[in-house]
Amino acid sequence: PLKPFTVDFEFARVEKLMGIKIPDAEIRRTLEALGFAIEGSGPKFKVTAPSWRPDIHGPADLVEEVARIAGLESVPSAPLPRLT
């Protein structure tokens, strides 16, 4: 069996990386529906990945899960800076 993996996670990181505001309650609901255990009352939470998710390695992976469920079409596009 895999050892449980816990990530320190701030829900505000979702908006920072995705560019859209998702209510904290919806982020919590989404992660719990996907099998993640969440402890704490914020702003930092302890999020434990379910045993069947060995692909979760850090906060960016949790943001990706929330974005996937929220719908990637809701994430605004942003051009990459040009290297000259």
2 pLDDT higher than 80? no
52-68 average pLDDT score: 94
Residue 1: per-residue pLDDT? 65
Q: Where are the alpha helices (DSSP H) in the chain?
A: 12-18, 24-33, 59-70
Helix (H, G, I), strand (E, B) or coil at 41: coil
User: Looking at per-residue confidence, does 82 or 84 come out higher?
Assistant: 82
83 pLDDT higher than 90? no
CA–CA separation, 48 and 36 (whole Å): 6
- Measured in degrees and rounded to the nearest 5, phi and psi for residue 38 equal -120, 130
| Whether the Cβ atoms of residue 75 and residue 67 lie closer than 8 Å to each other | yes
Q: Which residue has the tokens 């209510």?
A: 23
Indicate the helix (H) or strand (E) that contains 45: strand 44-48
68-82 average pLDDT score: 85
Q: Which pTM value belongs to this model?
A: 0.85
